[in-house]
Amino acid sequence: MARTEELIQLKKMGRPKAEKPKEIKYSIRTDEETERRLRAYCEAMGISRGEAYREGIKLLLEQSEEKK
């Protein structure tokens, strides 16, 4: 039984499950200037490129809703 209990404890270790896991991946093409500006923005704001993309999409959607 001790070995089974050890295995159960090992399964509990690690990073907790995300509330909203990000499972969908995108691959995009961009020019060097946009990439340079994006990297600079992310560095200044202390966020990842993925987070910047999500924020940008959220802004676009909010603006779109305001126009309706």
pLDDT band at 1 (very low <50, low <70, confident <90, very high): low
pLDDT, tens digit, 9 for 90 and up, residues 23-43: 888 899 999 999 999 999 999
pTM (2 d.p.): 0.66
With respect to residue 3, please indicate whether it lies within any of the assigned structural domains: no
Number of structural domains found in the chain: 1
With respect to residue 59, please indicate whether it lies within any of the assigned structural domains: yes
> Which pLDDT score is estimated for 31?
97
Burial of 7 per CB tally in 10 Å (0-12, 13-18, 19+): exposed
With respect to residue 20, please indicate whether it lies within any of the assigned structural domains: no
With respect to residue 40, please indicate whether it lies within any of the assigned structural domains: yes
Q: 52 and 38 in contact (C-beta within 8 Å)?
A: yes
With respect to residue 10, please indicate whether it lies within any of the assigned structural domains: no
DSSP state of 18: P
With respect to residue 18, please indicate whether it lies within any of the assigned structural domains: no
Residue span of the structural domain in which 62 resides: 29-68
Distance CA(45)–CA(51), nearest Å, equals 10
With respect to residue 64, please indicate whether it lies within any of the assigned structural domains: yes
With respect to residue 41, please indicate whether it lies within any of the assigned structural domains: yes
